Amino acid sequence: MFSLSNKSAIITGGGSGIGRAIAELFAHQGAVVHVLELNRSGAEETVKQITAGGGRAHAWSCNVSDQAQVKETVREITKLSGEVNILVNSAGVAHIGKLENTPEADFDRIYQVNVKGVYNTMQGVIVPMLQQGGGVILNVASVASTVGISERFAYSMSKGAVLTMTLSVAKDYIRENIRCNCISPARVHTSFVDGFLKANYPGREEEMFEKLSKTQPIGRMGKPEEIAALALYLCSDEASFVTGCDYPIDGGFLRLNN
């Protein structure tokens, strides 16, 4: 079950965190993985890990907010692999701030990557998927898509857009055998979290990590590998009846917090 044998998968943000975990798992399950990263060295490190384990992967330097660059990269991937069967949009940036202290430049940066980046990559793959008779798109949203989270104004805006773009694409292309879903993680322990704590709470990293972990009713942060497992299901043929859905993976954050 859950084989991706000989399928071609594009993973944006696959150089670290959740994106890397998804890329590694997909390759393990037989996919030819194309890792898109602004930072090429991160993509190459993921590819190195995959190929060392016998998998197949390619690294691509690509700024997802640049539509022309995205389309050219997708064209090159299509030439190399023949088809684009799966797109996972994991690339994203974070921002902390309320409306009053969110500068226009920060708002635009979040929009360019988290919203326009998803739009660009989906638009880049939609024609190849139509031509080949189908495909799967999976977007990484957030619990912030549907609930208010303190001091996450711009980030919440962007993830709300990811959720609604997902629903629109799912409806528009359901007859063309293109499925589109999203997943909404709560806090996941990645290197970003560690860097955030070190920069903002020097000397209190352990204390704040424990505090943030407990905001999930389950009592801990998620693991990138747990998010990847859900992504694998949704991109596999076993999920062929699933489209237009948002899947929270949040340790009870949405429903069990009082």
* 208 belongs to a structural domain: yes
- The CATH number linked to 171 is 3.40.50.720
Are both 216 and 241 inside the same structural domain? no
End-to-end CA distance of the chain: 38
Are both 197 and 241 inside the same structural domain? no
Q: Which residues contact 157 (CB under 8 A, 6 or more apart)?
A: 107, 110, 111
Give the pLDDT score at 29. Answer: 98
Render each residue's pLDDT in the chain as its tens digit; 258 residues: 999 998 999 999 999 999 999 999 999 999 999 999 998 999 999 999 999 999 999 999 999 999 999 999 999 999 999 999 999 999 999 999 999 999 999 999 999 999 999 999 999 999 999 999 999 999 999 999 999 899 999 999 999 999 999 999 999 999 999 999 999 999 999 988 898 888 888 999 999 999 999 999 999 999 999 999 999 999 999 999 999 999 999 999 999 986
For the entire predicted model, the pTM comes to 0.96
Give the DSSP H or E segment for 24: helix 17-28
* Rounded Cα–Cα distance for residues 129 and 126 (Å): 5
Are both 90 and 133 inside the same structural domain? yes
Give the pLDDT score at 191. Answer: 87
Are both 23 and 78 inside the same structural domain? yes
Q: Structurally, how many domains does the chain consist of?
A: 2
Among 111, 119, 155, 233, the one annotated catalytic: 155
Give the pLDDT score at 257. Answer: 83
Is 155 one of the annotated active-site residues of the chain?
A: yes
Tokens for 255?
A: 């429903």
* 1 belongs to a structural domain: no
Q: Which residues contact 127 (CB under 8 A, 6 or more apart)?
A: none
Q: Are strands 86-89 and 8-12 parallel, antiparallel or unpaired?
A: parallel
